[in-house]
Amino acid sequence: MQKYFYSLIVALVIASCSTNPYKASEKEYDTKLKTFKETISSKEPEPLPVVSKTIISIDNVYTKQLYTFKDTISKMGSTALDNGIHTEWIGTVNFNLRKPNYIIIHHTAQDSLQQTIKTFTVTRTQVSAHYVIADDGSVVQMLNDYLRAWHAGSGSWGKDTDINSSSIGIELDNNGFEPFSEAQITSLMALLSKLKKEYNIPTQNIIGHSDIAPSRKNDPSALFPWNTLAENGFGVWKNDILEPAPLDFNPELALRIIGYSTTNLPAAIKAFKLHFMQTEIDSVLNENTINTIYSIYKKQ
């Protein structure tokens, strides 16, 4: 018995001194994680072509939330499951941060850049965006691109029903009744150029708030120059000469393929017209509307 006891002690000592087979991978995991923590913590302004930067101070609520996320992604302990099993942590070395796949453009429906900044820097509003672009072309970044802003609300595009988790939100300082300035649109396209290249965002995935929430939203307004953006590679636009849709063409199905929710079909038609027609903004599905839907459908 004594011999068995000594053998057990020796075995335990050897086991405690043995090399962790995952030591190298855990080290690489920690190194990569540190890089990502620094990435999402960065608040340095980045230069954009033909854009003058505006730098503002952010209150400590932002910092508190940021550190919560940093602590969350650093968590590597065991987690208890409902069935009594505890998870084991072994870090993989093959990972990166989630990347956005959409860009959603809004107008602020407010009267100034400072008013919008105030809205986004108090907790009670529960609304935010990654960027705000002023009428004079100044750009304010308010959240790291990899983090989830609260700009889209309830909405969908195709099968994606959580747009906040997969998109970057850009707010344009505009009350919804005035033309967008040339400086503002120039800065927007400079920003879109950077984001599209950096995250490999598909051209057709640059859309408006009204596209993803046709029953609730109408921004950006009919004055927004979607055709100018499309000419520069940001979004799609109808052909100058519309090809007649085939007799068996189903416009409702085509709207769904483009991305619109047709649960409320009249609202989807109106949102489509707001984006791609901008003159007759109603829910009438006439021949011109059907041919325009067909034109955009073919670009998907």
Which positions are annotated as active-site residues? Answer: 171
Residue in this structure with the two tokens 């968590």, named with its chain if needed: 75
For residues 154 and 216, the answer to whether their CB atoms sit within 8 Å is yes
Using CA atoms, how far apart are residues 256 and 47, in angstroms rounded to an integer?
Answer: 38
Using CA atoms, how far apart are residues 116 and 129, in angstroms rounded to an integer?
Answer: 10
**Treating both helix axes as pointing N-terminal to C-terminal, what angle do 287-297 and 251-258 enclose, rounded to 10 degrees?**
40
For residues 212 and 218, the answer to whether their CB atoms sit within 8 Å is no
Q: Using DSSP, state whether 132 is helix, strand or coil.
A: strand
- Report the amino acid identity of residue 40: I
DSSP letters spanning 262-293: -TTHHHHHHHHHHHHT-SS-SS---HHHHHHH
> Which is it for strands 131-133 and 167-172: parallel, antiparallel or unpaired?
parallel
Q: Using DSSP, state whether 38 is helix, strand or coil.
A: helix
Using CA atoms, how far apart are residues 143 and 146, in angstroms rounded to an integer?
Answer: 8
